[in-house]
Amino acid sequence: MSKKYLLGMVLASFLFAACSLSPEQAALVRSVELPDLALTNATYVLDRGEDHPLYIVAGYIALFDQTHKALATSVTFTQRDDQGSVVLQGSADEATVDLQSYDAQLRGSVTVEKIDQQLLIEAQELQWVHEQQLLLSEGREEVLITYEGNKRVRGTGLIVELATSNVTFERVLEGVVLP
């Protein structure tokens, strides 16, 4: 072998050794799932063809193909009827959406408003169960409901059937829910 070839091999092995990750670093890299697609200041349309699509505008959206999840921050969403009027709107600081079931977890200054029913829901965290069209709060998470413009109810254990606007609380902390 020539001296140049040997010197090249030695330098390459030093470079490879200097650039390789420690076992701890390698484990950390393998544990972080990178998105398949990341978008900033984007609009994403959730449309299963069975209802009017939900238009989501977010400061950041990350899509993960393997887990069928979308993570979004600075989220606003709207849904329009056949005439183009907004029937549902809301916002959240963060959202995690299952792209197969369309179930979602909304976190941080969450608002959901059903315009035609004059129903406004405000919470720090809500869960959306798409198949049953339910909004849920878990545990002791307090939720404020404003309806008919000025009537307010605050409670925990919220269940809202969004299709019918039927609202129930496990525990009412303030206000009165009328049948």
The answer to whether residue 179 sits within a structural domain is no
Determine the pLDDT at residue 150: 84
Q: Which residue has the tokens 């002791």?
A: 140
Asked if residue 75 and residue 141 are part of one domain, the reply reads yes
Same domain, residue pair 90 and 124 = yes
If one counts the domains in the chain, the total is 2
Question: In which band, very low, low, confident or very high, does the pLDDT at 138 lie, cut at 50, 70 and 90?
Answer: confident
Residue at 23 is within a domain: yes
pLDDT tens digits for 76-110? 999 998 898 999 999 999 999 998 888 999 999 99
Amino acid at 82: D
Does residue 14 sit in the same domain as residue 58?
Answer: no
For residues 13 and 54, state if they share a domain: no
> Are 52 and 113 in the same domain?
yes
More confident residue, 138 or 64: 64
Residue 16 — φ and ψ, nearest 5°?
A: -65, -40
Confidence (pTM):
0.77
Q: Which 3 state secondary structure label does DSSP give 6?
A: helix
* Residue 71 dihedral angles phi and psi, to the nearest 5°: -115, 135
| CB-CB contact of 101 with 131 (8 Å) | yes
The predicted-structure confidence for 151-165, as pLDDT tens digits, reads as follows 899 999 999 998 888
In a domain, residue 124? The reply is yes
Percent of the chain whose pLDDT exceeds 90 = 47
Q: How confident is the model at residue 9 (pLDDT cuts 50, 70, 90)?
A: low
113 with 150, same domain?
Answer: yes
Residue 169 lies in a domain: yes
pLDDT score, position 24: 57
Range of the domain at 16: 1-32
The whole-angstrom separation of Cα 85 and Cα 97 is 25
Q: Within this chain, do residues 38 and 26 fall inside the same structural domain, yes or no? A: no
CATH number of the CATH domain containing 90: 2.60.450.10
Residue 79 lies inside a defined structural domain of this protein: yes
